[in-house]
Amino acid sequence: MATVTVRIPAALREFSDGRAEVDLQADTVASALAALAGHFPLLAQRVTDPGGAVRPYVNVFVGETSIRDASGLDTALTNGDVIAIIPAVAGGQV
Amino acid sequence: MTGNCETITVLLRASLRDQILTAATAAEPDEACGLLLGIRETASARIESVVGLPNRTEQNPQMHYQIDPLDFLRLDREAQLRGLEVIGVWHSHPDGSATPSATDRALAWPDWCYLIAGRDDNGKHDLRAWRFRNDRTTEDRVTEWLP
C-alpha cells in the first residue's frame, strides 16, 4: 500500500471537518476514495455516486493527470502521490 | 467552512473590483471568468487575488463559461504556497444582470464565493457577490469595497 495525500478543495471542506488534506494508505484511486469515505462519508457522497463512479461535476487528479485520462478509478498510486479533488467550475448567463 | 446561512461579508479591494470589470469588458461579447484567492473566515471572505482564466466552455462562450480543472489545480497549489485558498469564482454576464442564472445555480458549489459582473438597469457595470446554499437557493452577500 502506498502512502498518499488527498487534497480537498475549500468548496467541499464543510464535509471534511475543515481539513484541506488527508493522508491515506491506498494502492488505487478507488481504494483511496473508499478510505476517504470511511473518514468523511458526506464528502465521499459528493465525489462519487452510489455505484462508486466519480460524479460528472467532479474531477479527480493524481499529480497533474486527470484519472479520466489514465485508468480511471483503477489508476495505480505510489508513495507520495497527491490526489486532488477538483470541482468543475462552470455557469453562464442563461 | 461553515455551510450555514449566516451572512458573510465579502471583502474586496477596489483595484481588484476594477480588474474584474476590465477583464469582463475586454472579453465581450464572450463571458470572462476566473478564480478568487483569499482567506475564508467565519463571517467574511477576504479576496486577496483575482485571477483571470481562459473560458474553456464547449458551448457558446457568449452564454457560458467553464474553467479548466488543470488551471484550478495549479492555482490551488499556488494559493497554498501563499497561505491562501481558492475561495470562489468570478464570471461575467456580458448582456445580463449581475444575478445568478439558472445555469449558475444548477452548477454552483455551496458556500463558495461567487462574484458576477453584469450590467445594471442603466447599462452600467455592476459587480455583485453571491453564495449558494445546499438547496441551491441564493443569498446576496454583503460586499464591502476596500480602498
Q: Does B102 touch chain A (CB under 8 A)?
A: yes
Which residues from A are below 8 Å from B103, CB to CB? 90-94
Under CATH, what is the fold of the domain A2-87? Ubiquitin-like (UB roll) (3.10.20)
Query: Average of pLDDT values for B89-106?
Result: 94
Does residue A3 contact residue A25 with C-beta atoms inside 8 Å? yes
Which residues from A are below 8 Å from B33, CB to CB? 89
**Which carries the bigger pLDDT value, residue B147 or residue B23?**
B23
Tell me the nearest-neighbour CA distance from A35 into chain B, angstroms: 22
How many other CB atoms sit within 10 Å of the CB of residue B58?
Answer: 7
pLDDT, residue B41, reads 85
In the stretch 57-76 of chain A, residues with CB closer than 8 A to chain B read 57, 59, 61, 64, 66
For every residue of B50-107, DSSP letters joined together read: EEEE----SS-TTTEEEE-HHHHHHHHHHHHHTT-EEEEEEEE-TTS-SS--HHHHHT
pLDDT, residue A11, reads 85
Tell me the nearest-neighbour CA distance from B74 into chain A, angstroms: 8
pLDDT at B84 over 80: yes
pLDDT, residue B137, reads 72
pTM for this one?
Answer: 0.91
Query: Average of pLDDT values for A37-56?
Result: 93
Is residue B6 very low, low, confident or very high in pLDDT (cuts 50, 70, 90)?
low
DSSP-derived pairing of the beta strands B125-132 and B113-119: antiparallel
Q: Could you tell me the residue ranges of all domains in chain A?
A: 2-87
| Calpha distance B89→B71 (Å, rounded) | 12
Does residue A72 contact residue B41 with C-beta atoms inside 8 Å? no
pLDDT, residue B4, reads 45
Element (H, E) at A26: strand A21-26
Which residues from B are below 8 Å from A92, CB to CB? 31, 57, 59, 63-65, 91, 93, 101, 103-104
How many other CB atoms sit within 10 Å of the CB of residue B124?
Answer: 8
Q: Does B30 touch chain A (CB under 8 A)?
A: no
DSSP-derived pairing of the beta strands B142-146 and A21-26: unpaired
Query: Hey, are the CB atoms on A12 and B107 less than 8 Å from each other?
Result: no
Cβ-based burial of B69 (10 A; exposed 0-12, middle 13-18, buried ≥19): buried
Q: Which domains does chain B have, with CATH numbers?
A: 10-146 (3.40.140.10)
Least confident of A54-58, B22-26, B106-110, B117-121: B106-110
For residue A48, what are the contacts with CB-CB under 8 A and spacing of at least 6?
A33, A37, A54, A55
Q: What is the pLDDT of residues B9-63, one digit of tens each?
A: 899 999 999 999 999 999 999 999 999 999 988 888 999 999 999 999 999 999 9
In the chain, the amino acid numbered A74 is D
pLDDT at B2 over 60: no
pLDDT, residue A2, reads 97
Q: What percent of chain B has pLDDT over 70?
A: 95
Least confident of A15-24, B2-11, B67-76: B2-11
